[in-house]
């Protein structure tokens, strides 16, 4: 998208590289574009945090209080996008889900086809975990549930590690459907394990009450 002020290409950046005016968000711009990063699972977090702070100050609506209506609106839009991009890219799991989204896989959608293609081993794993947790909750056995949470946390970490390997490989082979499938399956496991751990936390809270 070209700058509304000087017609220079902005390439998804919050500010025009030509005139320095605040830019509009072009269709298809990614969270990586905001920070001028190439899409990648590996992100320099300290550098990301530093850039986020600098952009937050430059984009803050107070700095545009006396500007025209267009710039005030763009300030709000860019600040919202910046905050969402930062939350996504600084978190390994969110970053992995987002990279998959850029490859056309949205695991949060109920109609996502990948959910229907998960390996049988994973479905069996889910059923066993669900049944064991239900038994522990029914027996009010918090110690057992917490022990399961420790094990599931390790499984979650391993699944994310495997997904990261596939996503890194995708940088060199972006059209490799097998790598997309591998990353999707592993992040499907991460998503389930996250929900499982949330259930255990809720159980812990109920036990305290």
pLDDT digits (tens, 9 = 90+) for 23-64: 999 989 999 999 999 999 999 999 999 999 999 999 999 999
Tokens coding 83: 């905050």
User: Domain tally for the chain?
Assistant: 2
Q: Which tens digit of pLDDT belongs to each residue from 12-24?
A: 999 999 999 999 9
Beta-bridge partners for 2? 9
The pLDDT value recorded for residue 207 is 81
Residue at 203 is within a domain: yes
Instruction: Give pLDDT, residue 110.
Output: 52
pLDDT at 113: 52
The pLDDT score that the predictor gives to residue 115 is 53
Q: Identify the domain boundary among 90, 117, 145.
A: 90
Please compute the mean of the pLDDT values over residues 182-187 and round it to a whole number: 94
Q: Are residues 147 and 190 in the same domain?
A: yes
Within a domain: 98: no
Supply the range of the domain harboring residue 62: 1-90
- Last residue within a domain, chosen from 20, 55, 90: 90
- Residue 9 sits at φ, ψ, to 5 deg, of -65, 130
- In this structure, what token pair is assigned to residue 150? 């420790």
Domain annotation covers residue 21: yes
> What is the pTM (predicted TM-score) of this model?
0.90
**Do 61 and 135 belong to one domain?**
no
Are residues 126 and 81 part of one domain?
Answer: no
- With residue 87 as reference, give the H or E element that holds it: helix 69-90
Quick one: 8 and 74 in the same domain? yes
* Residue 41 falls inside a structural domain: yes
Q: pLDDT tens-digit profile of 107-141?
A: 866 545 555 577 888 889 889 999 999 999 999 99
CATH code of the domain in which 45 resides:
1.10.287.110
Please give the pLDDT value at position 133: 95
Give a yes or no: residue 69 inside a domain. yes
- Looking at the fold, whether 114 and 203 belong to one and the same domain comes out as yes
Same domain, 202 and 113: yes
Query: For 187-201, how does the pLDDT look when each residue is reduced to its tens digit (9 = 90+)?
Result: 999 999 999 999 999
- Nearest CA to 169 out of 158, 183, 155, 185 is that of 183
Question: What is the DSSP secondary structure assignment for residue 105, as one 8-state letter?
Answer: -
Average pLDDT rounded to a whole number, residues 136-152: 96
């Amino acid at each position: 998208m070209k700058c509304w002020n000087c017609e220079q290409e902005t390439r998804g950046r919050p500010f025009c590289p030509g005139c320095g005016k605040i830019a509009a968000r072009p269709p298809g711009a990614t969270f990586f574009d905001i920070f001028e990063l190439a899409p990648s699972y590996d992100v320099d977090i300290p550098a990301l945090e530093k850039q986020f702070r600098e952009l937050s100050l430059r984009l803050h609506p107070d700095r545009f209080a006396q500007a025209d209506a267009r710039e005030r609106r763009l300030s709000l839009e860019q600040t919202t996008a910046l905050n969402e991009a930062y939350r996504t890219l600084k978190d390994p799991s969110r970053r992995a889900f987002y990279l998959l989204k850029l490859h056309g896989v949205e695991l949060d959608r109920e109609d996502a086809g990948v959910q229907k293609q998960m390996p049988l081993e994973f479905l069996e794993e889910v059923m066993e975990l669900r049944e064991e947790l239900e038994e522990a909750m029914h027996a009010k056995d918090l110690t057992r549930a917490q022990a399961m949470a420790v094990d599931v946390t390790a499984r979650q970490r391993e699944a994310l590690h495997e997904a990261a390997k596939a996503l890194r490989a995708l940088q060199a082979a972006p059209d490799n459907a097998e790598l997309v499938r591998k990353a999707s399956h592993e992040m499907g496991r991460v998503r389930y394990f996250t929900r499982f751990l949330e259930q255990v936390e809720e159980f812990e809270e109920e036990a305290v009450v």
